[in-house]
């Protein structure tokens, strides 16, 4: 019986894979021949991976673990579709979307489900369809790639051993760009990103990624994950030593990136993890050490001088405030307010705004440098509201696991709350939903947490002993 069922399942999977494959090849056939050939090769690989050699969940784990290494190949554009270059990052994102689609069609659903996420994806697709642009389509694919992990990560990371293996492998992969950061600082490798300070160019460590944010996002996910593993390795001296070394390396590299919001997010994540783990004394120690380190290394006034100026009555629209982010926020909010009321609800489909800024003049930008403002501009009040509701639901799920789960589940719940807090801080001046890895790991963990938390949600509440006796 089981063998017959598995054969039927394979046949059904083959039908769905054939249908999806035919659609993809039909789309690719309208492009250049080399695009069609590469698409056919990728499709063949997906068919192989999802049917016989590897289960889809293993393929998802491989992509998640290898993402820090995949992003190192950001220079290598294989071809161009429209105005967008296609590189290894693009192929990994497309792979995840296709695996998620196949998995959902094959099962008639997904282990983890969220109505808010489904409606967010629908709303975003409608917004881009109403005002189609190359930029809007690129952002939509990035959002879909991150969101697809929510539907396929439960089986990949659902068990405690599987999650621990993923966490260890992910930290090992992140160690590569961290070491590259050190090689950049000592002059063995060139800097990829430069800033001007005191009328002189200053290199910022990026792990050879195009921008320091590439390594910052991995760090803010990796540090709480290392703390989680260290908490589970009380009896393993060598393992704790390696994790301590990784934490030290990650903190040093974070300072070398000179990314101010990343530093705040990382310190906030460590403090939140310690506080939720009931290590209050450790949380205050981290705050004190972090404050002293910032003062000694760069000085609060120098590092966050524009924020101090704003608190003392400085100009939000001044070009110096957060390196011009106030100007960008004003520009995008103005574009939203002055648009048609229908666009208030569905958005403009992309992140491009232009117009006059007071005391500055005409300006155009495609980077709001604030995720909520970007979502509001691109997908309207509906899309932005759905995203906020979605993330709030992640926090609720994490808190439920912290309250009702076993030891492993409580650790997952703490991680969920901490990662969500870090992403929220990063959203103030960056755009995690548009960055190649900004929300990938958040949605992957949310998939596991959602299934486990809803199991407790569906369990009947225990009846008090006295009430049971009175009813009998």
**pLDDT band at residue 102, thresholds of 50, 70 and 90?**
confident
89 and 170 inside one domain? no
- Measured between alpha carbons, how far is 145 from 437 in angstroms, rounded to an integer? 10
Q: State the DSSP string of 289-343.
A: HHHHHHHHHT-HHHHTHHHHHHHTT--TTSTTGGGGHHHHHHHHHHHHHTS-HHH
Tell me the residue range of the domain where 416 lies. Answer: 112-152+351-460
For residue 465, pLDDT over 60 is answered with no
**pLDDT band at residue 99, thresholds of 50, 70 and 90?**
confident
Which of 116-130, 149-163, 408-422, 452-466 has the least mean pLDDT? 452-466
* Of 434, 448, 450, 371, nearest in space to 145 by CA: 434
104 and 125 inside one domain? no
pLDDT single digits (tens) 304-343: 455 544 544 445 555 555 566 778 888 888 888 888 888 8
388 and 439 inside one domain? yes
For residue 21, pLDDT over 60 is answered with no
Q: Is residue 317 part of a domain?
A: no
Q: Is residue 69 part of a domain?
A: yes
119 and 102 inside one domain? no
143 and 259 inside one domain? no
79 and 142 inside one domain? no
| pLDDT confidence of residue 223 | 92
Question: Mean pLDDT score of the chain, rounded to an integer?
Answer: 78
**Domain boundary pick from 286, 303, 320:** 303
398 and 284 inside one domain? no
Q: Is residue 298 part of a domain?
A: yes
Q: Is residue 316 part of a domain?
A: no
pLDDT single digits (tens) 30-44: 444 455 555 555 555
For residue 19, pLDDT over 50 is answered with no
| pLDDT confidence of residue 468 | 47
135 and 32 inside one domain? no
| pLDDT confidence of residue 52 | 41
pLDDT single digits (tens) 279-314: 656 555 655 565 556 555 554 445 445 554 454 444
182 and 284 inside one domain? yes
For residue 423, pLDDT over 60 is answered with yes
- Measured between alpha carbons, how far is 136 from 142 in angstroms, rounded to an integer? 10
76 and 136 inside one domain? no
| pLDDT confidence of residue 240 | 80
| pLDDT confidence of residue 197 | 67
Asked if residue 71 lies in contact with residue 437, where contact means CB atoms within 8 angstroms, the answer is: yes
* Cβ neighbours for 280, distance < 8 A, ≥ 6 positions apart: 274
- Measured between alpha carbons, how far is 365 from 324 in angstroms, rounded to an integer? 11
**Domain boundary pick from 77, 109, 141:** 109
Asked if residue 332 lies in contact with residue 377, where contact means CB atoms within 8 angstroms, the answer is: yes
**pLDDT band at residue 80, thresholds of 50, 70 and 90?**
low
Asked if residue 60 lies in contact with residue 99, where contact means CB atoms within 8 angstroms, the answer is: yes
Q: Is residue 380 part of a domain?
A: yes
Q: Is residue 324 part of a domain?
A: no
Domain count, the chain: 3
Give the tokens for residue 127: 């917004």
| pLDDT confidence of residue 2 | 33
395 and 268 inside one domain? no
176 and 147 inside one domain? no
Q: Is residue 330 part of a domain?
A: no
Which of 75-79, 116-120, 228-232 has the least mean pLDDT? 75-79
């Amino acid at each position: 019986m089981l063998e017959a069922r598995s054969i039927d399942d394979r046949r059904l999977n083959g039908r769905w894979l054939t249908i999806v494959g035919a659609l993809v090849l039909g789309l690719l056939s309208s492009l250049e021949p080399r695009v069609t050939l590469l698409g056919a090769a990728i499709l063949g690989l997906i068919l192989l991976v999802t049917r016989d050699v590897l289960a889809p969940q293993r393929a998802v784990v491989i992509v998640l673990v290898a993402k820090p290494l995949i992003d190192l190949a950001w220079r290598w554009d294989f071809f161009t579709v429209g105005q967008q270059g296609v590189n290894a990052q693009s192929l990994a994102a497309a792979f995840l979307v296709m695996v998620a689609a196949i998995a959902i069609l094959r099962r008639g659903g997904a282990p983890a489900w969220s109505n808010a996420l489904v409606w967010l994806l629908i709303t975003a697709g409608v917004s881009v369809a109403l005002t189609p642009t190359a930029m809007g389509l690129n952002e939509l694919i990035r959002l879909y790639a991150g969101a697809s992990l929510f539907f396929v990560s439960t089986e990949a990371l659902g068990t405690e051993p599987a999650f621990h293996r993923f966490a260890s492998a992910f930290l090992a992969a992140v160690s590569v760009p961290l070491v590259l950061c050190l090689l950049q600082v000592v002059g063995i490798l060139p800097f990829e990103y430069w800033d001007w300070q005191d009328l002189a160019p200053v290199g910022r460590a990026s792990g050879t990624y195009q921008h320091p944010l590439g390594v910052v996002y991995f760090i803010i996910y990796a540090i709480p994950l290392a703390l989680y593993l260290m908490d589970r390795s009380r009896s393993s001296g060598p393992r704790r030593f390696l994790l301590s070394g990784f934490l030290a390396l990650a903190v040093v590299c974070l300072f070398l990136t000179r990314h101010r919001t990343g530093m705040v997010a990382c310190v906030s994540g460590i403090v939140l993890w310690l506080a939720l783990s009931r290590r209050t004394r450790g949380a205050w120690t981290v705050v004190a050490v972090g404050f002293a380190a910032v003062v000694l290394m760069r000085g609060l006034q120098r590092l966050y001088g524009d924020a101090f100026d704003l608190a003392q009555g400085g100009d939000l629209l001044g070009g110096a405030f957060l390196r011009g982010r106030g100007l960008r926020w004003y520009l995008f909010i103005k574009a939203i307010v002055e648009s048609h009321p229908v666009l208030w609800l569905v958005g403009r489909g992309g992140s491009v705004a232009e117009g006059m800024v007071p005391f500055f003049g005409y300006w155009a930008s495609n980077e709001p440098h604030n995720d909520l403002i970007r979502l509001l501009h691109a997908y309207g009040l509906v899309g932005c509201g759905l995203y906020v509701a979605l993330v709030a639901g992640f926090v609720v799920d994490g808190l439920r696991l912290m309250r009702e789960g076993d030891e492993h589940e409580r650790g997952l719940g703490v991680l969920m709350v901490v990662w969500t807090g870090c992403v929220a801080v990063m959203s103030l001046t960056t755009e995690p939903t548009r960055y190649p890895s900004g929300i990938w790991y958040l949605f992957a963990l949310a998939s596991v947490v959602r299934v486990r938390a809803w199991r407790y949600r569906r369990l009947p509440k225990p009846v008090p002993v006295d009430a049971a006796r009175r009813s009998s």
